[in-house]
Structure 1
């Protein structure tokens, strides 16, 4: 399969009946468990397929309940909780066989409202064109570059940016998808959800160089403020305000290259001390 088709392949769900969809498995030689962004991106794609075109997702809140198997397809069931004039709400459950892996509630808002506007400014970081493409990405998954090969990811700052009092641990990175994608707001929101889980929890370890921790996403939330295009440069400003008791909170602000705040991401994850012989994220054994 040509590499430029992979993101579109995983977000192209197969209808299986009323409000039920099948999401294809990962194409991975590395992951033993389904990547969280993969399952979240497919879940919001399933929810979007049941909502009228005049409404766009503005928020999602979800929990990772049990690990999914990376090389197995996932079934998504959508429950229509609300369809109002301004908002629609959907619950999505992700199943592998009889195992409930993931649960999401997503809300969609019609595009006709207006009101006051403000946003946090984008941090002052080097432009992506001035940065080198790193040989590895800060994900905690050895060899993950193969799975993320369709994305151009460049570290802009490794640690809090100047005058940033919001974090003691964090980093900023630029990313964009390398290939053409449909010019559709809904598709790019699903693609951003996929990407939003990539590298985020690992930012909690930026203040602890060399510390080995078991990493796993526990929950995931995204608020969408403005339309996004993931095949244009986006800055992911990540920070972790607290880590304790083997868990860490990570958050991220996503800006476009013009400085517009497009989305906000929040996630709590497991950062438990790694046991001898284990990897930070479960990987396939050779």
Structure 2
């Protein structure tokens, strides 16, 4: 496992601080606030620490306040129900005594049943594409200095976008995006860790799908953008150290909000997870 990936795995390895209470550090990715995927991934890990013999199959969360990446985050898990097949946990993330995220996670015992799925869409193979970091290094000499570190930083999750958008010179495009995702280096055989890492990664470049038709990005002048909620469903086992295609679309934007959907496919065409997110995409007058 590469050092940059080990740091992310350690970030998700929460410290117990009492009965069903955990604490996690925060990382600074160059954004004004804590990256939402970090809080989602840590929240899923906190809930998973209170369940045995069952894997998470869905998470539904609301972002309530922006997080401060200079402070740790406390996670409280509430045991809502343990049934014969399913367990439900409520998780609350706090900083400074204030809630920044609330969500629910459902877990299920291993079970066989009916099988069907959508076909994997066409996409270029990952080895034919450049990584986000490579694009960032190409852009860096042409952007203000304050953006260069975030564009060129080492990333534990390698992302290879299909037809990437220049965040500083966007043009209107259809509401559809594709990227390949994979961790840098090999991971241990822990299915909970792989699901927490996918949850973390699923927030990257997601809300931007709803910005595509409008020719703007989160870097555009007078734009106020933020994730409002996030949901993820795990359909089949997968590994985050193998390539996964993240296929995203945005069926609607209205009332200052953009709605986004996503599907993760492995290279064999298996649909392993699905996501949805609504985001604030507000164009301010000044």
2:51 is the alignment partner of 1:51 = yes
- Structure 1 residues 210 and 96: alpha-carbon distance in aligned structure 2, compared to 1, 3 A threshold: closer
Selected match of 2:210 from 204, 207, 210 = 204
State the TM-score, normalizing by the size of structure 2. 0.86
State the TM-score, normalizing by the size of structure 1. 0.86
2:168 is the alignment partner of 1:170 = no
Cα shift readout 1:56-110 (whole Å, capped 9, x = no counterpart)? 1000101001111011100000000001120000000000021110001000000
The answer for the alignment partner of 1:163 in structure 2 is: none
The answer for the alignment partner of 2:159 in structure 1 is: 153
Aligned length: 263
Check conservation: 1:196, 1:265, Cα contact below 8 A: yes
What are the within-5 Å matches in structure 2 for residues 186-265 of structure 1? Answer: 186-210=192-216, 212=220, 213-265=223-275
Check conservation: 2:41, 2:197, Cα contact below 8 A: yes
The answer for the alignment partner of 1:9 in structure 2 is: 10
Selected match of 2:190 from 148, 172, 184 = 184
What are the within-5 Å matches in structure 2 for residues 57-136 of structure 1? Answer: 57-111=56-110, 113-134=111-132, 135-136=135-136
Secondary structure, aligned partner of 1:206? helix
- Counterpart-to-counterpart distance in 2, 1:67 and 1:260: 35
- Structure 1 residues 196 and 85: alpha-carbon distance in aligned structure 2, compared to 1, 3 A threshold: same
- Counterpart-to-counterpart distance in 2, 1:224 and 1:61: 12
Q: Give how far 1:122 is off.
A: 0.7
Secondary structure, aligned partner of 1:187? helix
Q: Give how far 1:25 is off.
A: 1.4
Secondary structure, aligned partner of 1:205? helix
Cα shift readout 1:128-149 (whole Å, capped 9, x = no counterpart)? 1111224139xxx955445661
- Counterpart-to-counterpart distance in 1, 2:257 and 2:91: 25
The answer for the alignment partner of 2:168 in structure 1 is: none
Q: Give how far 1:156 is off.
A: 2.2
The answer for the alignment partner of 2:20 in structure 1 is: 19
Moved more, 35-44 or 211-220: 211-220
The structure that is helix-richer by fraction is 2
Check conservation: 1:27, 1:147, Cα contact below 8 A: no
Secondary structure, aligned partner of 1:203? helix
- Structure 1 residues 99 and 49: alpha-carbon distance in aligned structure 2, compared to 1, 3 A threshold: same
